[in-house]
Structure 1
Amino acid sequence: MARSPLTREAVLAAAAELVRRHGPAALTMRKLAAELGTAVTSIYWHVGNREQLLDALVERTVRDMGGAVRPAGRTPAERIVSVARTMRRELRERPHLIAMVHERGLTDRMFLPAQRALVAEVRAAGLSGARAADAVRAVQFQVVGFVLVERNRERSPVQSPGEGELWEPAAAPDDPDLARALARPADPERLFVLSVRALTEALLAGG
């Protein structure tokens, strides 16, 4: 069976996957060519040198982040939460690529589609002017901050004693249910939705 002709998009997709799995340092033209089963010269022909490849990957990441934003829900609050969940998912799925975008000074442009979607929703909820701007930024900061905390927890060494030991029922004798809940591992997805919903409801109150 004949191999499909190599395209620029195929090269960028393979490069993005290498960076996603192993980080930018793992991306070499030779390794990329091996992944695609082609010659290094073919890679150069489609994307230029490594710096040009990295620039193209950054642009692709910015484009993909923007294309992923599709608000869903019946109310502005529900749609804001859906945008926040999309932002979190995209940031978590491609940390190395997001870091490359940041290093090239394109973070604000990357977040612009999500900001525009949030602007539409806070205005639909009745907010305007500085209050609307504050709401958009509060949601954005909540998403980014939550993701940073998640990554820090995931990368930290095993804690001893951990929450399961620190929050034995005796630690809160007046509320053993609270102690048992804090002793269980956190559910990041549930906490994220809970926090964004609470924040959104507070921001839109009286809109």
Structure 2
Amino acid sequence: MAGGTRSALTREAVLDAAAGLVKRYGPNALTMRRLAAELGTAVTSIYWHVGGREALLDALVERTVAELGEIRPSGRTPEQRVAGVARDLRRQLHDHPHLVALVHERGLTERMFLPAQRVLVREAHAAGLRGARAAEFVRAVQFQVVGHVLVERNRERAPVQCPGEEELWSAEAAGDDPALARALARPVDTERLFVTAVRALVRSLLAPALPTRPSDSAG
């Protein structure tokens, strides 16, 4: 690859490989030599395409911010649209923890969330929320997403629990609700729990702004 490195290799390919290394091993594992080995090229070729390591990290941060900015709402109702935005934001944060940490370390966390906040502002305005109530709505949804992701990450990295929930929740512990004990003893469905919590939050925040319709109470 040495003879035609510059023409065969692209900046996007370098960033893809760098993002992959960061995702698998963390930012500290990203060295120019390791990246060159991953791509099967010379270190000088990496420098030619993206500059030094700091410039490479800046480019990864910019791309991560841009990807979070691509979140778009979908759905017929405000509740569905906001829940969709929340799901997309959660997925991005959950799937790229090291890249998100890199953004945070470089002091760009607020900028990273700005595009999603703007989407939520538009949805809040469309639902009739204005001013402080709209701001509270935006932050409540954002904090719900971030908090859920942090809890998920902590559970994933925690050591095996002894005793576990399946042992702690017996029929006796649940009193007269054995079905509750069985449910709490099962592994957590984090996706379902997240959607349930977000929908409940959004519904409560939008309730004063939305007219009551027969179809709403039926759902």
In the other structure, the counterpart of 2:48 is 45
Per-residue CA deviation, residues 172-197 of structure 1 (Å, 9 max, x unaligned), is 23111111111111100000000000
Residue 9 of structure 2 aligns to a residue whose secondary structure is coil
1:57 aligns with 2:60: yes
CA distance in 1, matches of 2:79, 2:126: 10
Aligned to 1:141: 143
Q: CA RMSD in A?
A: 1.4
Residue in structure 2 matched with residue 14 of structure 1 by the alignment: 17
TM-score (norm 1): 0.96
Q: Deviations over 1:80-137 (max 9, x none)?
A: 0000000100001110010010011111111111001111111111111100100000
TM-score, length basis structure 2: 0.91
Give the C-alpha shift of residue 76 in structure 1.
Answer: 1.1
Deviates more, 1:4-13 or 1:48-57: 4-13
Deviation at 1:170, TM superposition (A): 1.8
SS in 2 for 1:60: helix
* Stretches of structure 2 lacking an aligned partner (at least 5 in a row): 210-219
1:5 CA displacement: 1.7
| More moved, 188-197 vs 159-168 | 159-168
Please state how far the C-alpha of 1:31 moved relative to its aligned partner.
1.1
1:122 paired to 2:124: yes
Residues 19 and 27 of structure 1 are in contact (CA less than 8 Å); yes or no, is this contact kept in structure 2?
Answer: yes
1:1-207 correspondence runs (5 A): 5-67=8-70, 69-207=71-209
Alignment partners' CA distance in 2, 1:120 and 1:70: 11
User: Partners of 1:53 and 1:181 in 2: how far apart?
Assistant: 47
Please tell me the residue identity of whatever aligns with 1:157.
P
Q: What whole-Å deviation, never above 9, does each CA across 1:141-161 have from its counterpart, x for those lacking one?
A: 000000001111111111111
The runs of at least 4 aligned residues of structure 1 exceeding 2 Å deviation read none
Task: Provide structure 1 residue ranges, at least 5 long, that are not aligned to the other structure.
Answer: none
**180-189 vs 191-200, greater mean Cα deviation:** 180-189
Q: Distance in 2 between matches of 1:203 and 1:19?
A: 37
